[in-house]
Structure 1
Amino acid sequence: MSVTTPLPSGESQAATPAALIDPFNRHVTYLRVSVTDRCDFRCVYCMSEHMSFLPRKDLLTLEELDRLCSAFISKGVRKLRITGGEPLVRKNIMSLFRALARHLETGRLEELTLTTNGSQLEKYAGDLKAAGVRRINVSIDTLDAQKFKAITRWGDLSAVLKGVDAARRAGISIKINAVALKGVNEDEIDDLLRFAHGNGHDLTLIETMPLGEIEGDRTDQYLPLSIVRARLLDRWTLEDIPFRTGGPARYVRVKETGGRLGFITPMTHNFCESCNRVRVTCTGTLYMCLGQEDAADLRAPLRASPDNGPLFEAIDAAIARKPKGHDFVIDRRRKQPALGRHMSVTGG
């Protein structure tokens, strides 16, 4: 593994801080960090086509992101996922991956990974593997090039597939994420499954989540995965397995292919009882729950002192408010999202 000199992290002076345990005795060991709210796609279920992005000055620097992630790792986070927007469009993003790789070397971090739309993977796959990334999630909702363009508005399916192939050749394990969209890709689930398993990838299906105003009606998009699973059972043998990646997906093995198929069901089945995750935005805002508005500002204590004491205090206070679960609902009467912020703001 190739590791460069770490970015300044403010971690040398502190004794081992207390672990992160929420009010329901759940250990927080998984951190998802958005490094940018920007994306080179405009997926119809994620954001408006005409998005207003944050001024670059409001974003944490890469050095600050490294220090923040390192603080969480020192408090027991074992899995770190880099997200966006699209994380690989952030300038000099590989310097952050290379810096964070030191925690893999010491064993304090078990996994460094990312979620990506795949547009930049052909360029960065080798560098990601060299920085210790062994597994990634790639979002592909359809294998139809024209439909892919319609869903992503700006995306090029061929570039994404080249990126997936580059990651596979680099030795990175790949999970394909697909959002199930009523009337859009519900007739393609079998094709996505054959594609993923035929290339040695896992596939995870996701229900659309009511986050942020989009140019359309989410009730037109929403497809319960209970219906998808029932349809799949007409053609495939699905065997429940205990496999977990640390996230909310529940997996089955498809007997006919031998591959794994995951279901993320925030709407039809609340997966909060075992939640071990928190999210930090690219501005340093900590969300203890994806489906709640309560948040904590970590940027202020991060910048207030080179010592991590104030930062640890802010993190501890926030984890003490982590709720038991989310309140996701698609409001069919008012046709409004459950939360006003877009997924690209919080981090996918």
Structure 2
Amino acid sequence: MQHDELAQANAPLIDLFGRHVNYLRVSVTDRCDFRCFYCMAENMNFLPKREVLSLEELDRLCSSFVSLGVKRLRLTGGEPLVRKDIMTLFGSLSRHLDSGALEELTLTTNGSQLKRYASELAALGVKRINVSLDSLREDRFKEITRWGRFDQVMDGIEAALAAGIKLKLNAVALRGVNDDEYDEMIRFCHQRGMDVTFIETMPMGEIDHERLDMYLPLSELKRDLAQSWTLEPSAHKTGGPASYVTVKETGGRVGFITPMTHNFCESCNRVRVTCTGTLYMCLGQEDAADLRAPLRASESDGPLTEAILSAIARKPKGHDFIIDRDNNRPSIGRHMSVTGG
């Protein structure tokens, strides 16, 4: 490696606002075995396979970020566990855990494939998983996911817990859909030693369902929870954007991710890469960098590293999420399944 390449490889990922980017979320596929109505249209047009990074390219891309100081790596989708041979990628990336270069390798999943993969994931060093689940009622779960099988997800959760993996349930707060279940979700999670995080719905992507009236600010949700529970401030952090409280009655934690009502950008340490190799420095901005071209143009990592460093230098101070009621349009045109959940 020449001197300039060595200097690049050792350069920390610090943006113009002094934020150290040490958390990378990578979508390994835009495909999913669910069709949650707030996330996808029922009849989605998925990307041609030639546009999607190969598992080898994903390994090389992630490893480049690790060499630049990324300490936390989360694989997402779509649904990451439906990607063919995905465990070979987990197996390859686990070498960075063994070397100490990476502190955490994890994923966000809908839970449908956890029964199949939980033991192997645990053996590869995955200690923590986020499971997206918006209802504990089978009929409602079916309405939300369209294609999901509730029993399959429950079996996956039990398999992961049995494998010793720490789980956190993520639920999108939807007014008039699941807003009568939040106390039930807290009990379900805390009885099993799981945290639960509520997420404000984000205006991303054209879908065939009206979302504006479903928007529920988490300040309202938190106020309602305080009627049933004693919520105590918590300093707990996982590296992501959630703020936490501890429920005195259970000892468990509840998280809140509030991109709409509270801009948490001042401490943002994250970037996202899509399954096509597009780097988004901010989930709520359209500015992006193509990493696939330098990745495929050269066997040397020099051009890829240069593209990453150039992009981080453009990481914006904050996002532009809005609920556009006047035009009934999402503020960001791309689907969450493309960007990575």
* Paired position in structure 1 for 2:15: 22
* Paired position in structure 2 for 1:131: 124
Q: Deviations over 1:156-202 (max 9, x none)?
A: 11100100000000000000000000001101000000000011100
SS in 1 for 2:324: coil
* Paired position in structure 2 for 1:4: none
Give the Cα–Cα distance (whole angstroms) in 2 for the partners of residues 161 and 128 of structure 1.
17
Answer whether contact 1:89 1:120 (CA < 8 A) is retained.
yes
**Cα distance, 1:220 vs structure 2:** 1.7
**Cα distance, 1:57 vs structure 2:** 1.1
* Paired position in structure 2 for 1:207: 200
**Cα distance, 1:14 vs structure 2:** 5.7
Ranges of 4+ aligned residues in structure 1 off by more than 6 Å: none
SS in 1 for 2:63: helix
**Cα distance, 1:221 vs structure 2:** 1.5
Equivalent position to 1:335, from 311, 328, 337: 328
**Cα distance, 1:216 vs structure 2:** 1.7
Give the Cα–Cα distance (whole angstroms) in 2 for the partners of residues 68 and 219 of structure 1.
37
Give the Cα–Cα distance (whole angstroms) in 2 for the partners of residues 107 and 278 of structure 1.
21
How do residues 1-348 of structure 1 correspond to structure 2 at under 5 angstroms? 15=6, 16-348=9-341
Give the Cα–Cα distance (whole angstroms) in 2 for the partners of residues 218 and 330 of structure 1.
10
* Corresponding letter in the other structure for 2:302: G
When structure 1 is superposed on structure 2, of 172-181 and 13-22 the one drifting more is 13-22
Q: Deviations over 1:11-34 (max 9, x none)?
A: xx9634311011101000000000
Give the Cα–Cα distance (whole angstroms) in 2 for the partners of residues 149 and 94 of structure 1.
28
* Corresponding letter in the other structure for 2:32: C
Answer whether contact 1:218 1:335 (CA < 8 A) is retained.
no
Q: Deviations over 1:230-265 (max 9, x none)?
A: 001111000011100000000000000000100000
Q: State, as a whole percentage, how many aligned pairs show the same letter.
A: 68
Give the Cα–Cα distance (whole angstroms) in 2 for the partners of residues 218 and 263 of structure 1.
20
Give the Cα–Cα distance (whole angstroms) in 2 for the partners of residues 58 and 183 of structure 1.
38
**Cα distance, 1:298 vs structure 2:** 0.3
* Corresponding letter in the other structure for 1:112: L
* Corresponding letter in the other structure for 1:69: C
**Cα distance, 1:217 vs structure 2:** 1.8
Give the Cα–Cα distance (whole angstroms) in 1 for the partners of residues 43 and 54 of structure 2.
25
**Cα distance, 1:69 vs structure 2:** 0.2
TM-score scaled to structure 1, two decimals?
Answer: 0.96
**Cα distance, 1:131 vs structure 2:** 1.1
SS in 1 for 2:170: strand
Give the Cα–Cα distance (whole angstroms) in 2 for the partners of residues 154 and 221 of structure 1.
21
* Paired position in structure 2 for 1:3: none
Give the Cα–Cα distance (whole angstroms) in 2 for the partners of residues 156 and 257 of structure 1.
29
Give the Cα–Cα distance (whole angstroms) in 1 for the partners of residues 40 and 301 of structure 2.
35
SS in 2 for 1:95: helix
Give the Cα–Cα distance (whole angstroms) in 1 for the partners of residues 5 and 232 of structure 2.
47
SS in 2 for 1:115: strand
SS in 2 for 1:206: strand
Give the Cα–Cα distance (whole angstroms) in 2 for the partners of residues 200 and 190 of structure 1.
15
* Paired position in structure 2 for 1:6: none
Equivalenced residue count is 337
SS in 2 for 1:41: coil
Give the Cα–Cα distance (whole angstroms) in 2 for the partners of residues 311 and 163 of structure 1.
37
Superposed CA RMSD in Å reads 1.1
Answer whether contact 1:218 1:330 (CA < 8 A) is retained.
no
